Amino acid sequence: MILTVTLNTALDLTYGVPALVPHASHRVTDLSERPGGKGVNVARVLAALGHDSVVTGFAGGATGAVLRELLAALPTHPARVIDALVPVAGDTRRTLAVVDRTTGDTTQFNEPGPHVTADEWTAFLGSYGELLTTADAVALCGSLPPGIHVGGYAELVRLARNAGVPVLLDSSGEPLRRGIAARPDLIKPNADELAQLTGSREPLRGARDARRRGAHGVIASLGPDGMLAVTPDGNWQASPPAPVKGNPTGAGDSAVAGLLSGLAEGLSWPDRLRRAVALSTATVLSPTAGDFDRAAYEELLPRVGIEEHADAA
């Protein structure tokens, strides 16, 4: 079982419009509504790949109730997404993605999320500790909601490591900086997040610096150039066969699901990267935010290129 943590869950709304024009009224041609937040997206892709996952974090209010109803309605075959969310008094946030169907460009609006009290955080820590006893791996994903201290992810990384559970951290800014000091097994920043963390715009150099700061392994998302892995076992870059145009929402989450499923299946690092890049590219090609195009994924997977980098610093 793979545990995904989404402290700032969301109800994801996607509006499709013929063309997005500033200062104009728009007629929505299609609408989708799904449970969201980075770790929830990861869990949904894991289930589609055949891996049971447990979703934890916070949910509250009317929006949180809808989110949990949608989680319960997810397919249970080939695998399940299990709801272990902790209730809060505040209302779960919403995110809105407006997709221009002419250009494929997406405009995103993200609410901040509910304020989490000290008692609610304590309740979550107790539940998280219990879930770690049956987890094969854990992914800590996304932003921190108001009320959680900036070292919240560092605390969760330490608890996972004390339980002997491999832990992946996918966050940004100060929560990522603090989290790295707790020595996660893997971090997955994009190129901008890696540059903000290390001060280096050169991804290979930045990833090596992030390892020196405490991360055992670094997977850097490079957008259309694929993904770079700097690990104790070697360094590789995986690239899609050609650039694609579409909705990038959730592409990084699909990549995390690819990495975790590859870990669970004992795949080599190059094969994990191939899966992660194929899944993220297939997510860009999907018309619905946070989903992936399975046919595109299966067609892309054998065509993802792999290049090994020398280990010199």
Task: Give the tens place of pLDDT for each residue, 53-101.
Answer: 999 999 999 999 999 999 999 999 999 999 999 999 999 999 998 989 9
Q: Tell if the pTM clears 0.75, that is, is over it.
A: yes
Catalytic-labelled residue, pool 253, 271, 293, 311 = 253
Residue 232's pLDDT is 95
Residue 248's pLDDT is 84
| C-alpha dist (Å) from residue 147 to 106, 180, 227 | 30, 21, 33
Residue 240's pLDDT is 96
Residue 273: HSE in the Cβ half-sphere, 13 Å Cα cutoff: 28
| Nearest residue to 277 via CA among 217, 226, 212, 216 | 226
Assign 36 to helix, strand or coil.
Answer: strand
- Is 253 considered catalytic here? yes
Residue 246's pLDDT is 81
In the chain, the percentage of residues whose pLDDT exceeds 90 is 90
Distance between start and end Cα atoms, the chain: 36
- pLDDT for residue 312 is more than 80: no
Residue 253's pLDDT is 96
- pLDDT for residue 289 is more than 70: no
| C-alpha dist (Å) from residue 265 to 136, 271, 272 | 11, 11, 9
Residue 155: HSE in the Cβ half-sphere, 13 Å Cα cutoff: 13
* DSSP symbol at 224: G
Helix ranges (H only) for the chain are 38-48, 61-72, 118-132, 152-162, 173-181, 191-198, 203-213, 251-264, 269-284, 294-300
Instruction: For the beta carbon of residue 313, count every other beta carbon within 10 angstroms.
Output: 9
- pLDDT for residue 311 is more than 80: no
CB 44 within 8 A of CB 72: no
Residue 99's pLDDT is 87
CB 157 within 8 A of CB 184: yes
Distance, in Å, from the CA atom of 271 to the CA atom of 287, rounded to the nearest integer, reads: 26
**Average pLDDT for the chain:** 95
pLDDT tens per residue, range 136-189: 999 999 999 999 999 999 999 999 999 999 999 999 999 999 999 999 999 999
Residue 300's pLDDT is 97
- At 117, the pLDDT band (50, 70, 90 cuts) reads very high
CB 29 within 8 A of CB 18: yes
pLDDT tens per residue, range 100-115: 999 878 899 999 999 9
Q: Is the peptide bond before 78 cis (omega within 30 degrees of 0)?
A: yes
Residue 72's pLDDT is 97
| Nearest residue to 258 via CA among 232, 226, 234 | 226
- pLDDT for residue 123 is more than 60: yes
Residue 34: HSE in the Cβ half-sphere, 13 Å Cα cutoff: 20
- At 220, the pLDDT band (50, 70, 90 cuts) reads very high
CB 234 within 8 A of CB 242: no
